[in-house]
A and B are shown apart, each in its own frame.
Chain A
Amino acid sequence: MRVEIRIGGFGGQGIIRTGLILATASCVFGDKNAIQSASYGPESRGGRCKSEVIISDEDIDFPKVEQPDILVIMSQEAYVGYVDDLKENGILLVDPDLVPNQRKDLKAKIYEVPAAKIAEGLGKKIVANVVMIGAFAAITNLFDVGQMKESIKRNVPKAFLELNLTAFEKGYEHGKNIITVKAS
């Protein structure tokens, strides 16, 4: 099993850190192989930014994402840039408030996660990425929740650990709710 994930947004949202959290959960705390590569412009904030993660039970030979199975989108620009690359009937996690204009004809399993709004509710917009990770974990079932929390612990500053774990829980809850609604 090889799963290709692309996370797109703008610099400053923690897009690269999101990729690293997913990869750490899989290959340091889990027993899968994982690889993360990123591309971003020279500006540290504001420019388009993407992070790619491959998770596999086997050795990962080609280290680049060719056609993502899962796309996580947190900006309109990233949506426009990457949505066509998504595998047919792949999974799209998108923040509807950050991506107001979405295509109607997209052949994908679409999950809307208002991560920025949920994060604002927690008092810190900056943890929107971790809310998204929570939803991602609930929706995809690719990760063990305990391993994901360990990974968050490894990847965020100590002072903000509680906040990030709460953000993860909120996102996870939201993800579970979406699945329940979709199933019913």
Chain B
Amino acid sequence: MVSQREVLTGKHLMQGDVACAEGAIAAGCKFFAGYPITPATEIAERMARRMIEVNGMFVQMEDELASMAAIIGASWAGAKAMTATSGPGFSLMQENIGLAVMTETPCVVVNVMRGAPSTGQPTEGAQQDVMQSKWGSHGDYSIIALAPASVQEMFDLTIECFNLAETYRAPTFLLADGFTGHLWERVVIPSPEEIKIVERKKPVVSPDKYMPFKPDEDLVPPMACFGEGYCVHVTGLTHDELGYPKTTDPKVQHKLVNRLCEKMRKNANRIVRTYESMLEDAEVAVIAYGIPSRASLNAVKKARESGIKAGLLRLVTVWPFPEKQIEELATRVNAIVVPEMNCGQIVREVERVAKETPVHLLSKIGGELHSPSEIFEAIRRAAGI
């Protein structure tokens, strides 16, 4: 039974980080391991207080390597598990993120991005870890990453991260930023019945017939956790469908690694979510994700007022990259503007997909948000006015 303490139904003024923690709890998270770091510390603080109220477990680990390892273990013990960090900690997690990918462990990693590289700007928001979240661990693989643009989305998308992690058995990232993490805004938390929760797929065969890494048609294998009566061997080494290491057989490596990549590609239609505003007749499209999409919406409205046909495509899902949506959009607009709080990361993906359509980067680093007028100017230039 879901107790009232698990879902704080009602209207709140809440900080982004706290809304993320509440989203996790509403999604059924029962295990949090982490190490405090600005600007993500408030997530750990909230979880430290709340886990005990919902019969969950909070562990402050010795570092982020261990934090990531702990949530993998907790997930295999059957719990929905999460950690939260920022750039420096995210770097330390990369090796074990690869382990989570290889072992197909559902888990959620929140990265409240701050100015980087290295320790950079602890208190300033940024979007500099977008490519790291895709490629940070070694090898070929695919993950899911969502970018919240409001405190409400810190709540909603954390739930969605859990649902996607459970569905596709992969580490799933909430790519937030320091500004949104520390922002206070209204959050409406629905009643538990109104919140859609997904649980991992369980084996339907008897233990003697179960092959832990044999996928169903959706390329996702049903997951038996430790203690559920099934024989499960979990390793980061290349393994066959029984889970046993087969490290020199090219066919096994080929089958496994291709499936890990293909899992997201094949299911992209079900995973990817984007929002369109005023794109029907647009000649200039702004493509934004996370917090810059709010100034972008304002700028697009300004552009419309001054007679420029502009529109906004907001990427809620950053990975897998919304290729189809952008490819199609690029065929009907004259130019694309990409505002990002980094030196240009997602813009490369947009360029790759947009092909002949000119793509203009509007880069911003340092901690300040893009102002609506900056984006408006970029739209104006892109429109050739």
Q: Could you list which residues of chain A lie within 8 angstroms of chain B, going by C-beta atoms?
A: 19-20, 23-24, 27-28, 33-38, 60-64, 66
Residue of B nearest to A24 (CB): B13
Most chain B CB within 10 A, of A35, A60, A63, is at A63
The 5 A-B pairs of least Cβ separation, nearest first, read A36-B184, A27-B186, A61-B298, A61-B297, A62-B298
B13–A27 touching, CB < 8 Å = yes
Q: Does B80 contact A (CB under 8 A)?
A: no
Most chain B CB within 10 A, of A27, A33, A38, is at A27
Contact of B182 (CB < 8 Å), options: A19, A37, A62? A37
- B81: shortest Cβ distance to chain A, in Å? 31
A38–B13 touching, CB < 8 Å = no
Contact of B371 (CB < 8 Å), options: A23, A33, A60, A66? A66
Chain A residues whose C-beta falls within 8 Å of the C-beta of B183 in the assembled complex:
35-37, 63
Chain B residues whose C-beta falls within 8 Å of the C-beta of A62 in the assembled complex:
294-295, 298, 369, 371-372
A38–B182 touching, CB < 8 Å = yes
**A24 CA to B13 CA, complexed, in Å:** 6
- B304: shortest Cβ distance to chain A, in Å? 13
**B 295-351 contacts with A by CB, 8 A:** 295, 297-298, 301
0 or 1 for each of B358-385: is its CB under 8 Å from A? (1 = yes): 0000000000010110000000000000
Residue of B nearest to A51 (CB): B184
Chain A residues whose C-beta falls within 8 Å of the C-beta of B184 in the assembled complex:
19-20, 23, 35-37
Most chain A CB within 10 A, of B186, B291, B372, is at B186
Residue of A nearest to B122 (CB): A42
Q: Does B11 contact A (CB under 8 A)?
A: yes
Q: Could you list which residues of chain B lie within 8 angstroms of chain A, going by C-beta atoms?
A: 11-13, 179, 182-186, 291, 294-295, 297-298, 301, 369, 371-372
- A19: shortest Cβ distance to chain B, in Å? 8
**A62 CA to B298 CA, complexed, in Å:** 6
Add 19 more A-B contacts to A34-B185, A35-B185 (CB < 8 A): A19-B184, A23-B13, A27-B13, A27-B186, A28-B11, A28-B12, A28-B13, A33-B186, A34-B13, A34-B186, A36-B183, A37-B184, A38-B182, A60-B294, A61-B295, A61-B298, A62-B295, A62-B298, A64-B371
Most chain A CB within 10 A, of B179, B294, B371, is at B294
Chain B residues whose C-beta falls within 8 Å of the C-beta of A20 in the assembled complex:
13, 184
Chain B residues whose C-beta falls within 8 Å of the C-beta of A38 in the assembled complex:
182
Chain A residues whose C-beta falls within 8 Å of the C-beta of B185 in the assembled complex:
27, 34-36, 60, 63
Chain B residues whose C-beta falls within 8 Å of the C-beta of A19 in the assembled complex:
184
- A110: shortest Cβ distance to chain B, in Å? 28
**A38 CA to B184 CA, complexed, in Å:** 9
- B289: shortest Cβ distance to chain A, in Å? 15
Chain A residues whose C-beta falls within 8 Å of the C-beta of B291 in the assembled complex:
63
Residue of B nearest to A37 (CB): B183
Chain A residues whose C-beta falls within 8 Å of the C-beta of B182 in the assembled complex:
37-38
Residue of A nearest to B373 (CB): A66
